[in-house]
Amino acid sequence: MWTSEPYLFHSRLSKALNLKLIDPKTVIQAATTAYHDGRAPLNSVEGFVRQILGWREHVRGISWLHTPDYLDRNTLQDHASFTEFYWTGETNMACLNDAIHQTLEYGYAHHIQRLMVTGLFALLLRVDPKQVHEWYLAVYVDAVEWVKLPNSLGMSQYADNGVMASKPFVAMRRYVQRMSSYCGSCRFDPAKSKCEDAYPFTTRY
């Protein structure tokens, strides 16, 4: 995650794939052809194909098996409401400020920003998972319910008691600090948890 780099290392194909503007088979064939032509290394192509053919179809299977009742799951019994800055981006936390402003401007954030910034903070705030799901549907142009529901309700908020993920994706400041450039420009100190300039992720954790 890097400030002012909304698409860093990401393909931007999710919109076309989820809206059925391009077939997953076409995408996979293009990637494997690039490998056979010597234009892409094997490890990159393998990881990319695994996301399309493996992970994406796994999510589709979860959706087929568990909807519509899946939407009502709330294993952790979280019932808080979203804070207003999720709709404005106006927060002093650099990570959330950047990820939400980018989301509102482009209708896009890559999966780490969704899972480990916007989603993680909602989990730490104990926001109602249905509200989290509705927010994702409202702000991301690639959001269709079959793909978004297992990711937001299950993987991000652990509301499904482990159907989608083996454990909650919950962390404190060190993950965001290691994986991003956000902390260097933040008014909060990621090493502190109990003072005015304590990093709210750490405090909530």
The full set of domain ranges for the chain reads 14-66, 75-204
Residue type, 115: L
pLDDT in tens, 109-121: 998 899 999 999 9
**pTM attached to this predicted model:** 0.90
CATH no. for 75-204: 1.10.579.10
DSSP letter, residue 12: -
The pLDDT of residue 189 is 83
Report yes or no: 95 and 191 within 8 Å, Cβ to Cβ. Answer: no
Residue type, 205: Y
The percent of residues in the chain predicted with pLDDT above 90, rounded, is 68
* Neighbour tally for 46: CB within 10 Å: 13
Please check the confidence at residue 173 and state whether its pLDDT lies above 80: no
pLDDT in tens, 36-86: 999 999 999 999 999 999 999 999 999 999 988 999 999 999 999 989 999
pLDDT in tens, 40-52: 999 999 999 999 9
Report yes or no: 142 and 14 within 8 Å, Cβ to Cβ. Answer: yes
Contacts of 111 (CB under 8 A, 6+ apart): 151
What is the C-alpha separation between 56 and 183, in angstroms, rounded? Answer: 31
